[in-house]
């Protein structure tokens, strides 16, 4: 029997796209699904997915867990485990539409969870850490159960299939979010497993990623020191955990996290005329050498209230940005931006390692 993704490592190429309203204006998923169509050839039907922010305002204080289950027993076991630490405020099947293009559909459930205060006190653990640990435990240890989304007021939707079909399958036109990211996958193998599709998420961080990073095992083995478990062996998973570690655990700014992951070359740092900047960049490279990402990548990091797009420092993958009014667009190709907004302005290809950070107005999300 061929091995499932996670037991082997499968490189892939891809397409990514994102749209965000700086005003926090919510929009349906239709636009982002359309954006993936002109980039059809960048995927091969073996993985597509979306992340959406602001979609669960009525449950905004609860962790929204999206899970795949292979069977009913896996779901029952997993629910029993969740109930040890969380109150399940709501449990439901995620609505989907039957399509001929999407087959081998697992059970897809959504839970809104609230950690028990008593557990947090007893274990002296912060609630984000409890959520993170729960995700790792299920994904590494529970056969037939896989958490693919675990943040508040956001959610990931992914499947094996072309992204536009995946969007239709999940009825994304029925969700309203202020920020959307999307991904179409071109893996070099046929794992046929839904967990391998993007985005990868932890808490409210989501990553869509185009590329294959050569630093994977150095990054993974560093992060596994801190309780992360890269159960899928994909680049994207490791980048998602890296961002969680840098932003949430180390509390770095987005700019600092970008300077770690896509650190400028030493020669570039030394030629920087600003001594404070030299000090900052040298410090970050010295402290986090194992979190430098090498090899081609373009990523969009989603989080509550914003997006960050980042290219590898050599810019070995295409990525362009554009804007129109309150909207900012990011995509592998300009064509995808033009589909979302034919009148898009300021089309720009950010330099390698140059982070593009977009934040929603405070209080608007």
Partner 1 sequence: MGIDYIYPEFEVIRNESRCVTCQVCQRQCANEVHRYDPDLGRMLSDETKCVGCHRCVSLCPTHALKIVKNDCAFRENANWQTGAIKEIYKQASSGGVLLSSMGSPAPLSVYWDKLLLNASQVTNPSIDPLREPMETRVYLGKKPGLVDRDDKGNLTYALEPQLELSMPVMFSAMSYGSISYNAHKSLAMAAQKLGIFYNTGEGGLHEDFYCYGGNTIVQVASGRFGVYKDYLDAGAAVEIKMGQGAKPGIGGHLPGAKIVGDVSRTRMIPEGSDAISPAPHHDIYSIEDLRQLVYSLKEATEYKKPVIVKVAAVHNIAAIASGVARSGADIIAIDGFRGGTGAAPTRIRDNVGIPIELALAAVDQRLREEGIRSQVSLVVGGSIRSASDVVKAVALGADACYIATGALLALGCHLCRTCHTGRCNWGIATQRPDLVKRLNPEVGCQRLVNLLTAWNHEIKELMGGMGINSIEALRGNRLMLRGVGLTETELRILGVAHAGE
| Residues catalogued as catalytic | 14
Contact 364, 24 (CB under 8 A): yes
Instruction: Pick between residue 250 and residue 272 the one whose CB is nearest to partner 1.
Output: 250
Instruction: Pick between residue 29 and residue 187 the one whose CB is nearest to partner 1.
Output: 187
Instruction: Pick between residue 187 and residue 195 the one whose CB is nearest to partner 1.
Output: 187
Contact 129, 59 (CB under 8 A): no
Closest distance between partner 1 and the C-beta of residue 2, in Å?
13
Contact 155, 110 (CB under 8 A): yes
Neighbour tally for 235: CB within 10 Å: 30
Length of the chain: 365
What are the φ/ψ torsions at residue 67 (nearest 5 degrees)? Answer: -130, 145
Instruction: Pick between residue 14 and residue 67 the one whose CB is nearest to partner 1.
Output: 14
Closest distance between partner 1 and the C-beta of residue 348, in Å?
23
> Which helix (H) or strand (E) element contains residue 157?
strand 154-159
Binding positions for partner 1, 217-276, rule CB under 8 A:
217-219, 221-222, 224-226, 249-252, 256, 263, 265-267
Question: Closest by alpha carbon to 290, among 205, 208, 226, 211?
Answer: 226
Binding positions for partner 1, 207-226, rule CB under 8 A:
211-219, 221-222, 224-226
Size of the site for partner 1 (CB under 8 A): 45
CA 143 to chain centre: 23
Which of 28, 137, 294, 354 is in the footprint of partner 1 by CB under 8 A?
294
Contact 139, 229 (CB under 8 A): yes
Instruction: Pick between residue 113 and residue 263 the one whose CB is nearest to partner 1.
Output: 263
Which of 71, 103, 271, 279 is in the footprint of partner 1 by CB under 8 A?
279
How far separated are the first and last CA of the chain, in Å rounded?
A: 47
CA atoms of 306 and 223, how far apart (whole Å): 24
Closest distance between partner 1 and the C-beta of residue 211, in Å?
8
Contact 5, 196 (CB under 8 A): yes
Contact 206, 240 (CB under 8 A): yes
Which of 89, 107, 316, 357 is in the footprint of partner 1 by CB under 8 A?
316
Q: Does 72 bind partner 1 (CB under 8 A)?
A: no
Strand, helix or coil at 206? Answer: strand
Closest distance between partner 1 and the C-beta of residue 171, in Å?
33
Nearest-Å Rg of the Cα atoms of the chain is 19
Closest distance between partner 1 and the C-beta of residue 239, in Å?
13
Q: Which stretch binds partner 1 (CB under 8 A): 64-72, 125-133, 194-202, 277-285?
A: 277-285
Binding positions for partner 1, 183-202, rule CB under 8 A:
188
Instruction: Pick between residue 211 and residue 306 the one whose CB is nearest to partner 1.
Output: 211
Instruction: Pick between residue 87 and residue 226 the one whose CB is nearest to partner 1.
Output: 226
Q: Which stretch binds partner 1 (CB under 8 A): 104-112, 136-144, 201-209, 292-300?
A: 292-300
Neighbour tally for 292: CB within 10 Å: 17
Closest distance between partner 1 and the C-beta of residue 264, in Å?
10
CA atoms of 77 and 362, how far apart (whole Å): 40
Closest distance between partner 1 and the C-beta of residue 217, in Å?
4
Contact 280, 286 (CB under 8 A): no
Which of 6, 199, 296, 322 is in the footprint of partner 1 by CB under 8 A?
296
Residue with tokens 């071109």: 186
CA atoms of 294 and 313, how far apart (whole Å): 8
The residue ranges that bind partner 1 (CB under 8 A) are 9, 11-13, 188, 211-219, 221-222, 224-226, 249-252, 256, 263, 265-267, 279-280, 283, 285-290, 292-296, 313-314, 316
């Amino acid at each position: 029997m061929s091995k499932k993704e996670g037991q082997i490592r499968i490189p892939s190429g891809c397409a990514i796209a994102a749209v965000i309203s700086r005003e926090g204006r919510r929009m349906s998923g239709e636009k982002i699904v359309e954006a993936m169509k002109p980039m059809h050839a960048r995927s091969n039907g073996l993985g597509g997915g979306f992340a959406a922010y602001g979609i669960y305002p009525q449950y905004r204080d609860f962790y929204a867990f999206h899970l795949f289950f292979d069977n009913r027993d896996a779901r029952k076991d997993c629910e029993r485990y969740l109930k040890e630490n969380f109150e399940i405020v709501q449990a439901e099947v995620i609505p989907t539409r039957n399509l001929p293009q999407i087959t081998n559909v697992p059970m897809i459930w959504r839970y809104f969870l609230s950690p028990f205060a008593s557990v947090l006190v007893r274990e002296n653990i912060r609630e984000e850490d409890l959520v993170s640990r729960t995700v790792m435990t299920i994904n590494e240890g529970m056969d037939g159960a896989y958490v693919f989304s675990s943040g508040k007021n956001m959610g990931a939707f992914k499947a094996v299939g072309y992204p536009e079909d995946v969007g239709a399958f999940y009825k994304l036109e029925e969700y309203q979010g202020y920020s959307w990211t999307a991904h179409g996958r071109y893996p070099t193998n046929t794992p046929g497993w839904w967990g391998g599709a993007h985005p990868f998420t932890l808490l409210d961080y989501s990553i869509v990623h185009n590329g294959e990073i050569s630093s994977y095992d150095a990054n993974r083995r560093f992060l596994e020191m801190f309780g992360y478990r890269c159960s899928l062996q994909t680049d994207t998973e490791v980048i998602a955990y890296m961002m969680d570690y840098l932003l949430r655990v180390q509390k770095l700014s987005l700019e600092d996290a970008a300077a770690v992951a896509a650190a400028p070359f030493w020669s570039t740092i030394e030629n920087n005329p600003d001594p404070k900047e030299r000090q900052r960049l040298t410090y970050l490279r010295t402290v986090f050498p194992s979190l430098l990402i090498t090899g081609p990548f373009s990523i969009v990091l989603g989080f509550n209230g914003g997006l960050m797009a980042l290219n590898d420092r050599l810019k070995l993958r295409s990525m362009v940005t554009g804007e129109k009014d309150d909207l900012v667009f990011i995509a592998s190709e300009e064509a995808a931006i033009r589909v979302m907004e034919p009148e898009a302005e300021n089309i720009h290809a950010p330099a390698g390692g140059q982070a593009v950070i977009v934040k929603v107005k405070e209080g608007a999300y």
